[in-house]
């Protein structure tokens, strides 16, 4: 699309939103129902596109993409009427007699910018929330996942009125033009570097933003962890989508007392999951492109490899790889990995954990704690600053629509999924309705002899 076409799309969406056409419960419900049917109808083509772009196994394609969105839609449809209902809240004595209510008002015209790693999920999940909250939305997906972008555009164009939901194809130029337009809310998922560009552009028109970014997410394995369960769940969480998951364990911190036993079990489990030669496994994906392949492959330190380490540039394959005895000076700890390389550090006490996390460049998007002790679990969960996470599990907190998903600090701002998504795409409008059967004069001038009563009421 050229600049004039993009301007027209945004203008028509604003006119459509201002008409009130998106606000009615029935319209929202029927649109979401139609969306759910469309995902079901296009499932085969979506899975084929994910195979083309990311070599994503069909199980992962359904679990993390189409099935995930279907589940999100089911929960949203089931709860939408309740979410839309104005929420009554208490009213303080000072302003009585009155009643107070929170109304959830749609933000308006939204821009949703999605990344390449989960192109379906991270496009459709925020879109579900936007529709549920009564908004219009313009969609821009990553130019890297061309097959997925094609099927996303096909689904959107065939399902929605472009005045309601519109897809804008293109690359960086089109994204730049979009960011020059006036939106009521921008929802961006991607890197912190690009997130800062989005936020800077939004600041020019004081547009609110939701930023779902990345970060180096720690996974801590304490000496009392159930190691067989821990290795099963860490391998599943780390090597899902060939490690290209924003909330994947980015590095392990393993207690020194169990490090050797744990590494042995980790190696065995990776081979069980993907075979001696993971390039032949139908359950393991590929890096998205050559640029990202080269970046991640350069992080592998051959002398530190416990398992894996093999690469094949021809098909962008990097084996599930574990690196031992890593320090903060190694390149693999200098940025979010976003690939199938798992560095392992060790620790003895909590301070080593806190010191390591504090020295890394971004707040973690997620954190994972494996321990059988409630005291240890609480100590680490409460002391570490991170977006969200799991105890004795990895990544699966994302699959619970009742939990907010989002970052903190440099890993993002704002959270969504389920009601949290509905709320994120809404403005919480606080309204107080005062009675007229009584008119108390305490706050009216003149104020003589009223301050003492005001002090009593405002204690």
| Given 69, 148, 219, 246, the catalytic residue | 246
CA nearest 114: which of 60, 168, 43, 36?
168
Portions of the chain given CATH number 3.40.605.10: 3-213+410-431
Q: At what angle do helices 227-239 and 259-274 cross, to 10 degrees?
A: 50
Residue 390 falls in the annotated catalytic set: no
Q: In sequence order, what are the beta bridge partners of 405?
A: 416
| Given 212, 336, 410, 423, the catalytic residue | 212
Structure tokens at 321: 């790889």
E-assigned strand segments in 15-167: 87-89, 98-106, 109-113, 136-140, 165-167
- CA quadruple 259, 262, 264, 268: dihedral, nearest 10: -160
Phi, psi of 397 (to 5 degrees): -65, -25
Strands 136-140 and 165-167: parallel
Q: How far apart are CA 46 and CA 44, in angstroms?
A: 5
CB 429 within 8 A of CB 136: no
Structure tokens at 258: 């169990």
Report pTM.
Answer: 0.96
Sign of CA pseudo-dihedral 29, 34, 37, 43: negative
The string of pLDDT tens digits covering residues 303-317 is 999 999 999 999 999
Average pLDDT, whole number, for the chain?
97
Q: How far apart are CA 391 and CA 374, in angstroms?
A: 10
Residue 339: exposure state from Cβ atoms within 10 A (0-12, 13-18, ≥19):
buried
Portions of the chain given CATH number 3.40.309.10: 218-406
Rg (CA), the chain: 25
Please give the pLDDT value at position 390.
Answer: 98
CA nearest 254: which of 281, 231, 287?
231
Question: Percent of the chain beyond pLDDT 90?
Answer: 98
**What is the average per-residue pLDDT within 321-344?**
97
The string of pLDDT tens digits covering residues 370-426 is 999 999 999 999 999 999 999 999 999 999 999 999 999 999 999 999 999 999 999
Three-point CA angle 291, 327, 312, nearest 5° = 30
The string of pLDDT tens digits covering residues 202-212 is 999 999 999 99
Q: How confident is the model at residue 43 (pLDDT cuts 50, 70, 90)?
A: very high
**Is 277 in a helix, a strand, or coil?**
coil
DSSP string computed for 171-198? SHHHHHHHHTS--SEEEEES-HHHHHHH
CB 337 within 8 A of CB 362: no
Please give the pLDDT value at position 459.
Answer: 86
**What is the average per-residue pLDDT within 72-76?**
98
Structure tokens at 406: 């989002």
Q: Fill in the DSSP letter of residue 64.
A: I
CA nearest 120: which of 21, 185, 189?
189
**Is 388 in a helix, a strand, or coil?**
strand
Q: How far apart are CA 22 and CA 426, in angstroms?
A: 13
Please give the pLDDT value at position 361.
Answer: 83
**Is 296 in a helix, a strand, or coil?**
helix
CB 116 within 8 A of CB 144: yes
Residue 394 falls in the annotated catalytic set: no
CA nearest 387: which of 420, 355, 344, 359?
420
CA nearest 182: which of 14, 2, 22, 18?
14
Structure tokens at 90: 């208490």
The correct CATH number of 3-213+410-431 out of 3.40.605.10, 2.40.30.10, 3.30.2090.10, 3.90.580.10 is: 3.40.605.10
The string of pLDDT tens digits covering residues 165-179 is 999 999 999 999 999
**What is the average per-residue pLDDT within 15-24?**
98
DSSP string computed for 298-338? TT--GGGEEE---EEGGGTEE--EEE-S--TTSGGGSS---
Q: How far apart are CA 176 and CA 180, in angstroms?
A: 7
The string of pLDDT tens digits covering residues 120-148 is 999 999 999 999 999 999 999 999 999 99
Structure tokens at 114: 């999605």
Structure tokens at 338: 């976003």
Top CATH class, 218-406: alpha beta
**What is the average per-residue pLDDT within 444-450?**
94
CA nearest 128: which of 182, 178, 57, 74?
74
Phi, psi of 392 (to 5 degrees): 60, 35
CB 76 within 8 A of CB 128: yes
CA nearest 104: which of 354, 458, 441, 423?
423
**What is the average per-residue pLDDT within 42-71?**
98
Please give the pLDDT value at position 14.
Answer: 98
Full strand arrangement of the beta sheet holding 251-255: 305-307, 321-323, 341-347, 251-255, 218-221, 366-370, 388-391
């Amino acid at each position: 699309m050229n600049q004039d076409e993009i301007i027209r799309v945004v203008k028509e969406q604003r006119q459509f939103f201002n008409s009130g056409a998106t606000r009615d419960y029935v319209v929202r419900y029927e649109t979401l129902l139609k969306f759910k049917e469309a995902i079901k109808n296009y499932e085969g083509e979506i899975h084929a596109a994910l195979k083309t772009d990311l070599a994503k196994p069909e199980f992962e394609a359904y679990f993390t993409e189409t099935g995930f969105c279907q589940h999100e839609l089911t929960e949203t449809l089931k709860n939408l009427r309740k979410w839309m209902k104005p929420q009554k809240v208490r009213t303080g004595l000072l302003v009585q007699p009155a009643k107070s209510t929170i109304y959830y008002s749609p933000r308006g015209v939204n821009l949703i910018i999605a990344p390449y790693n989960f192109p379906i999920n991270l496009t459709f999940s925020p879109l579900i929330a936007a529709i549920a909250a009564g908004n219009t939305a313009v969609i821009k997906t990553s130019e890297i996942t061309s097959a997925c972008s094609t099927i996303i555009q096909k689904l959107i164009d065939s399902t929605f009125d472009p005045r309601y939901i519109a897809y804008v194809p293109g690359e960086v130029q089109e994204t730049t033009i979009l960011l020059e337009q006036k939106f009521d809310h921008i929802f961006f998922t991607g890197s912190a570097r690009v997130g800062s560009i989005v936020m800077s552009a939004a600041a020019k028109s004081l547009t609110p933003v939701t930023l779902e970014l990345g970060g180096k997410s720690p996974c801590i394995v304490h000496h009392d962890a159930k190691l067989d369960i821990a290795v099963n769940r860490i391998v599943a969480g780390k090597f899902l989508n060939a490690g290209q998951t924003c909330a994947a364990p980015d590095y392990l911190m393993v207690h020194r007392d169990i490090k050797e036993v744990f590494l042995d079990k980790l190696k065995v489990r990776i081979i069980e999951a993907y075979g001696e030669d993971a390039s032949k496994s139908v359950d393991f994906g590929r890096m998205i492109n050559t640029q990202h392949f080269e970046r991640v492959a350069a992080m592998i330190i051959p002398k530190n490899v416990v398992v894996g380490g093999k690469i094949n540039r021809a098909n962008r394959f990097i084996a599930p790889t574990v690196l031992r005895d890593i320090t903060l000076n190694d390149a693999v700890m200098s940025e979010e990995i976003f690939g199938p390389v798992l560095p392992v550090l060790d620790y003895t006490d909590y301070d080593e954990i806190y010191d390591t996390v504090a020295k890394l460049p971004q707040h973690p998007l997620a954190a994972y704690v494996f321990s059988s002790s409630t005291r240890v679990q609480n100590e680490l969960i409460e002391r570490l600053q991170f977006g969200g996470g799991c105890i004795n599990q990895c990544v699966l907190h994302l699959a619970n629509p009742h939990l907010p998903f989002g970052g903190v600090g440099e890993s993002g701002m704002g959270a969504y999924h389920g009601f949290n998504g509905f709320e994120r795409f809404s403005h919480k409008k606080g309204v107080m309705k005062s009675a007229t059967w009584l008119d108390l004069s305490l706050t009216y001038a003149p104020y003589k002899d009223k301050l003492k009563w005001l002090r009593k009421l405002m204690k």
